[in-house]
């Protein structure tokens, strides 16, 4: 582990934030250091894999002219040397090139050998390269093993290209070596995020030091999964529940580049391995529950929610009880997380996907959101309002009637908020045509709930922008039902008059009480003075 930074260093050259960055950088490099082998192996370059593995050379088409260089001219007939043979002709069982010509020399010997390599030789070389890429290096030391690191990088690039451009190269015997190479490189213990001052929204994330190699391994993994030759029936022997569990643990990586690759990889695995789907959903469920009720920290929540969004979109109807339970027991409580801003967009998308699948879930979802409505965090309140609008965009009119009263009571409170962003976001609901149509259909219930707050804000709010928005909303509501609007205006003014009268009565009562208090104090003072005089006269006699 990196040495602790002394107090003198903090004072002399570092702010607290820069110290945290230095610590995270060292920690990132340290994870690479501990993954490398203790006794380092120096890699040697292997021959290149053929880009087109052929079992034998085919005869050249008609009109083909050999590209071998012409034989040198002899100085004399006695010293003339024989013309060089085409290198293909030296290979048993292959057709030689036509007579050499200066216009079309024969292919280079190396290319001929690559074309001539048998399929088994290609597979042996492929497996050797996979085994070579299992060797890990310490990226903490940027100058050590440079040659071997470059050899491994080039080999990984070649493997990616090989499985991408060739058919029939992913055979059953190669699966074990492929999964072993992938596991050796990506599965590792992540450095703990134990810094209490770390702020994911402000601080720079910790980047993986060995990313030049790990990135290529992820590229290879994706090409492997997406290859037309990939057979899940064979791969399931190696890509099992343990493999998926380790893959999910990597989502806690602080490097966003790695989490992005993991998101795509897990989505491909979910699509190809039907037997692992329930397990993947269960493990994601466990990660979220641990995040909500125990750790309150997991870096890959947004990526996992993004995967879930596409999974939910593919759920069959009617929804299973376990899916509904996941919505109410996991996704809704996730709104209480401190770092909600980091994944709220993906979370809201998942919730809306559920409601589009089953509209009867709308009422419990909205009541759940109202239950967890933030009381002191204005930023979260704005996010909740945005999610409510997304839900109202897909709500059925029959479901809207069930939640209109509690929902608009909360919206009324938001409109009255002294935080102008909260009030502004709530007032923007009246810019949504569909929500306006729902309000108009239920104006007799919604207008009495909203009127008092809107009228009061129009007279008292400190922000002129909010006052202007409120006037527009009041105008819209008046156009929807002018008669009810006038009745509410009259009753509101009468209520205000009654309140003012009561306030004056209270003030008058307090004034009278103060007068009584003063009179009582004066009487007590006079009595006290009289008693003192009587006592003095008695003692004088």
Q: What would the DSSP string read from start to end of 132-156?
A: HTT----SSSTTTTHHHHHHHHHHH
Any bridge partners for residue 104, and if so which? 67
Closest Cα partner for 252 from 342, 192, 326? 192
pLDDT at 194: 54
User: pLDDT digit string (tens) for 254-307?
Assistant: 899 999 999 999 999 999 999 999 999 999 999 999 999 998 889 999 999 999
User: pLDDT digit string (tens) for 1-45?
Assistant: 344 444 334 333 334 444 444 444 444 444 554 455 544 566 666
Distance CA 261, CA 247 (A): 11
Of residues 435 and 490, more confidently modeled: 435
pLDDT at 40: 58
How would you label 292-309 residue by residue, b for 16+ Cβ within 10 Å and e otherwise?
beeeebbbbbbbbbbbbb
pLDDT band for 115, please (50, 70, 90 cuts). very low
Closest Cα partner for 296 from 241, 333, 254, 349? 333
Specify whether the CB–CB gap between 393 and 404 falls below 8 A: no
Least confident interval from 120-124, 322-326, 433-437: 120-124
Find the radius of gyration of the CA atoms of the chain: 39
Distance CA 203, CA 4 (A): 20
Specify whether the CB–CB gap between 477 and 443 falls below 8 A: yes
Residue with tokens 């074309």: 115
Distance CA 426, CA 443 (A): 17
Closest Cα partner for 180 from 121, 227, 220? 220
The total of other beta-carbon atoms located within 10 Å of residue 57's CB is: 15
Average pLDDT in the chain: 81
Which 3 state secondary structure label does DSSP give 420? helix
User: pLDDT digit string (tens) for 119-135?
Assistant: 788 888 999 999 999 99
Distance CA 116, CA 50 (A): 9
Distance CA 269, CA 281 (A): 12
Long-range contacts, stretch 142-146, CB < 8 angstroms, 24+ apart: 145/40, 145/42
Closest Cα partner for 430 from 385, 394, 486, 368? 385
User: pLDDT digit string (tens) for 333-385?
Assistant: 999 998 899 999 999 999 999 999 999 999 999 999 999 999 989 999 999 99
Per-residue pLDDT at 101 exceeds 50: no
Closest Cα partner for 156 from 125, 124, 175, 129? 129
Closest Cα partner for 156 from 222, 64, 208, 75? 222
3-state helix/strand/coil string of 40-76: CCCCCCCCCCCCCCCCCCCCCCCCCCCECCCCCCCCC
Q: What is the pTM of this model?
A: 0.74
How would you label 273-290 residue by residue, b for 16+ Cβ within 10 Å and e otherwise?
beebeeebbebbbebbee
Least confident interval from 27-41, 57-71, 499-513: 57-71
Closest Cα partner for 120 from 128, 109, 111, 112? 128
Per-residue pLDDT at 110 exceeds 50: no
% of residues, the chain, pLDDT over 90: 55
**154 preceded by cis ω (within 30°)?**
no
Cα dihedral across residues 8, 12, 16, 19: positive or negative: negative
Any bridge partners for residue 67, and if so which? 104
Specify whether the CB–CB gap between 20 and 197 falls below 8 A: yes
Question: Helix %, strand %, coil % for the chain, to 5?
Answer: 70, 0, 30
H and E: helices and strands count for the chain: 22, 0
Running DSSP on this structure, what letter comes out for residue 333?
G
Our measurement of the distance from residue 368's CA atom to the centroid of its chain's CA atoms, rounded to an integer in Å, reads 23
Least confident interval from 49-63, 233-247, 324-338: 49-63
Closest Cα partner for 339 from 347, 329, 349? 347
Least confident interval from 50-59, 143-152, 406-415, 467-476: 50-59
Which string of DSSP letters, residue by residue, matches 440-481? HHTHHHHHHHHHHHHHHHHHH-S-HHHHHHHHHHHHHHHHH-
Distance CA 130, CA 137 (A): 15
């Amino acid at each position: 582990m990196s040495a602790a930074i002394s107090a003198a260093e903090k004072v002399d050259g570092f702010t607290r934030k820069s110290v945290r960055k230095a610590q995270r950088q060292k920690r990132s490099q340290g994870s690479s250091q501990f993954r490398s082998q203790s006794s380092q192996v120096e890699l040697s370059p292997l021959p290149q894999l053929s880009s087109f593995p052929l079992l034998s050379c085919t005869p050249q088409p008609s009109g083909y002219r050999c590209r071998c260089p012409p034989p040198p001219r002899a100085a004399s007939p006695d010293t003339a040397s024989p013309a060089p043979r085409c290198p293909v002709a030296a290979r048993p069982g292959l057709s030689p090139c036509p007579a050499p010509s200066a216009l079309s020399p024969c292919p280079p010997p190396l290319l001929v050998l690559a074309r001539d390599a048998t399929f088994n030789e290609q597979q042996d070389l492929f497996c050797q390269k996979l085994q070579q890429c299992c060797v890990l290096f310490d990226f903490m030391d940027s100058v050590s093993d440079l040659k071997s690191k470059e050899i491994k990088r080039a080999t990984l690039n070649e493997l990616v290209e090989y499985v991408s451009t060739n058919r029939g190269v992913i055979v059953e015997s190669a699966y074990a070596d492929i999964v072993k190479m992938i596991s050796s490189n990506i599965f590792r213990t992540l450095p703990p995020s134990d810094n209490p001052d770390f702020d994911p929204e402000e601080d720079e994330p910790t980047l993986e030091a060995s990313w030049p190699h790990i990135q290529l391994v992820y590229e290879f993994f994706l090409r492997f999964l997406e290859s037309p030759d990939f057979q899940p029936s064979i791969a399931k022997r190696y890509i099992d529940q343990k493999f998926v569990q380790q893959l999910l643990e990597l989502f806690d990586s602080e490097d966003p580049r790695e989490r992005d690759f993991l998101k795509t990889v897990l989505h491909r695995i979910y699509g190809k391995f039907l037997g692992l789907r329930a397990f993947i959903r269960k493990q994601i469920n466990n990660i979220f529950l641990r995040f909500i009720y125990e750790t309150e920290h997991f870096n890959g929540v947004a990526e996992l929610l993004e995967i879930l969004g596409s999974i939910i979109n593919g759920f069959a109807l009617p929804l299973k009880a376990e899916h509904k339970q996941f919505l109410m027991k996991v996704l809704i409580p996730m709104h209480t997380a401190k770092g909600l801003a980091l994944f709220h967009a993906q979370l809201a998308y998942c919730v809306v996907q559920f409601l589009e699948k089953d509209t009867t879930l709308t009422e419990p979802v909205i009541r759940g959101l109202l239950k967890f409505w933030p009381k002191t965090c204005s930023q979260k309140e704005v996010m909740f309002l945005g999610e409510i609008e997304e839900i109202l965009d897909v709500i059925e009119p029959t479901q809207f009637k069930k939640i209109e009263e509690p929902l608009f009571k909360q919206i009324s409170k938001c409109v009255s908020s002294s935080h102008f962003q909260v009030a502004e976001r709530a007032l923007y609901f009246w810019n949504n045509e569909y929500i306006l149509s729902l309000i108009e259909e239920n104006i007799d219930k919604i207008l009495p709930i909203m009127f008092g707050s809107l009228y009061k804000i129009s007279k008292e709010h400190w922000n002129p922008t909010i006052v202007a928005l409120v006037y527009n909303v009041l105008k819209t509501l008046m156009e929807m039902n002018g008669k009810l609007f006038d009745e509410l205006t009259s009753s509101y003014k009468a209520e205000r008059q009654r309140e003012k009268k009561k306030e004056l009565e209270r003030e008058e009562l307090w004034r009278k009480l103060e007068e009584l208090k003063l009179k009582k104090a004066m009487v007590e003072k006079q009595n006290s003075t009289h008693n003192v005089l009587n006592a003095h006269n008695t003692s004088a006699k």
